[in-house]
Structure 1
């Protein structure tokens, strides 16, 4: 076929295609590739938008989720129990919650599934001023102890420590102090306060002074936070959830590679992010809590089921839950990045 003939044939083919499209014989998708699928995913957090979750807050600047076809939204909360209530009520798709709240909801019969281990290291503690001479769990008896909220991991992990000394909440006075709960400690409104490693860092930056710290990981090193979904969400939205988890992993890896950039962006996106130097220290702590021997072997988000089962048994022993929980029935790792 001559060059002229080939050009004539091409023009004829294009004209025929155009005519078919106009006539409705062919869909427009035949002429151009369809746009990538986008799904909205709402995350219910345990906190307001704070520095330690900077990787979830920088979507406008970094676009990790958009790149995976996810339109990300964040609903703040006051504790892991709040996060779970928001998914159970349909206000969100995924809860950013702690194991104690997760187990407590399962104990009440809720149909939930954990799909990603956000922080495999326990980051909770109980802090007191040196003057109180509280150095071991038994010393908490009769004391006023602050927690973020009654639906928070601080309360659940306080119960863990109390159990070490054969105590329960009835042996202390629990005081709800809010997220920035070191002011009540410094002002003498409580004798000790349950917090996290990043909370303690912020407290020290604000003049907390010399303190005694009891770290829960020295007693039970159970993961601090999971991504949790309702069973029906897990069954019906697997593709969107997989893309969400891949995007989250992308964002977490970015924060590990570029903590200085994350600290700088936190000034803009986090309500407690005014000081870039403090942001950097918070981000370093949270990066460290995101990794473990399990994640080193199997990637970020992987669960250590044996350790988690011990944790569930411990929570039953502490009285946080009443029934046995088989974690392999309520944890799924098939949606993790890299899984087929």
Structure 2
């Protein structure tokens, strides 16, 4: 049966898609129509540790069999799934991956523990996290979360990290709420009353609404701290010793991200084939539209996809310190490098 969007959601969808089209136009002439050379005779294996399973929002990492972005740069790509940014970093640090697709909070926490890491590409410069509750719960501001049961994707996910940011805005600690692991994109516990609120992402909320979630209050974390949602992180040893390979990967990733911005309909169709949650191309298109918006910012429009705003990231590190989420200062200029980014 064909899914019909609620009129208000349809209007929001059109707005998002129009904005995505604008973002495409702002990518710049260097990314307007990337040409690909014939792939090398031999490919070097390269493993990405993801924060999630192979889902629609990372379609550009899943379609190399069809599109060949990474093969064109001499890379045989493999994706290792995870359950949160902390998982991605664990897979990186245990040698199961060459690079981690992780969130700033997990990155800061690992640095605090003494891990030698370096962030080299800003995947989503926009904060896409939120906390969602049903209208009847009267949860309208962070202070209203006190004493509530709140769902997160996993204890190692950005949903938990960003929930803690919201709690601290109201002077609350993690111990002031009950955190419940509900799984990825799972609003059923909220709809069934098992939790009072759920920490999620914009795409998770979109899918929840498609599945019947209605009449909700949404607190956007970006209204309190608009820091990047995800970045590529490598071990310091890898950064120092494998710069040519990392440059190849980042160039291929940027090509794939630019393609998904330019060709969201094609990406949505391929997600049906490659993403575990991609059965409905129309929903895929909505999810991809949101991720495309999260991939661009004033900084990326000036310096190219993947460019960091170091001032914003430093503010995030300082905020995490002030809120007690990390216990020592982090100087981001010492753990973030942009020298491997492709030229804009």
| TM-score, normalised via structure 2 length | 0.88
Could you tell me how far apart the structure 1 residues matched to 2:150 and 2:96 are? 31
Confirm whether residue 293 of structure 1 aligns to residue 298 of structure 2.
Answer: yes
Runs of 4+ in 1 over 6 A off after TM superposition: none
Aligned partner of 2:211 in structure 1 is: 206
- What pairs with 1:315-330 in structure 2 (closer than 5 Å)? 315-330=320-335
Task: Tell me the SS of whatever aligns to 2:171.
Answer: coil
Q: Distance in 2 between matches of 1:212 and 1:40?
A: 45
> What's the counterpart of residue 334 of structure 1?
339
Whole-angstrom distance in 2 between the partners of 1:218 and 1:38: 44
- 1:136 equivalent to 2:141? Answer yes
Q: Secondary structure at the match of 1:302?
A: coil
- Match of residue 128, structure 2, among 114, 123, 126: 123
Aligned to 2:287: 282
Query: Equivalents in 1 of 2:269, 2:259: separation in Å?
Result: 13
> CA RMSD, aligned part only?
1.1
Query: Of residues 251, 255, 264 in structure 2, which corresponds to 1:259?
Result: 264
Name the structure 2 match of 1:82: 87
Match of 2:165 in 1: 160
Does the aligned pair in 2 maintain the 1:134–1:212 contact within 8 Å?
yes
Q: Give the superposition deviation at 1:38.
A: 2.7
TM-score between the two structures when normalised by the length of structure 1: 0.89
Q: Report the Cα distance in structure 2 between the residues aligned to 1:149 and 1:157, rounded to whole angstroms.
A: 12
2:102 is the alignment partner of 1:104? no
Alpha-carbon distance, 1:36 to partner: 5.0
Measured after TM superposition, the shift of residue 180 of structure 1 is 2.5
Q: Which moved more, 1:176-185 or 1:283-292?
A: 176-185
Verify the 8 A CA contact 1:112 1:231 in the aligned structure 2. Answer: yes
Q: CA deviation at 1:318?
A: 1.7
Cα separation, 1, equivalents of 2:151 and 2:119: 28
Q: Which residue of 1 aligns with 2:59?
A: 54
Show the counterpart of 1:63.
Answer: 68
CA deviation digits over 1:10-42, x for unaligned, max 9?
A: xxxxxxxxxxxxxxxxxxxxxxxxx55632110
Tell me, what secondary structure is at the counterpart of 1:73?
strand
Instruction: Extract unaligned runs of 5+ from structure 2.
Output: 1-39
Q: Which has the larger radius of gyration?
A: 1
SS of the equivalent of 1:48 reads: coil
Deviations 1:247-303 (CA, angstroms, capped at 9, x unpaired): 000000000010000000001100111111010000000000000000011000000
**Residue in 2 that maps onto 1:114:** 119
Where 1:149 maps in the other structure, the secondary structure is coil
Q: What is the rounded CA distance, in whole Å, between the counterparts of 2:151 and 2:126 in structure 1?
A: 22
Q: What SS does the aligned partner of 2:122 have?
A: strand
Unaligned runs of 5+ in 1: 1-34
Q: How many residues of Structure 1 are paired with residues of Structure 2 in the alignment?
A: 306
**C-alpha separation in 2, matches of 1:331 and 1:39:** 25
d(CA) in 2 for partners of 1:210, 1:274 = 26
Distance 2:217 2:282 in 1: 24
Deviation at residue 317 of structure 1 after TM alignment: 1.3
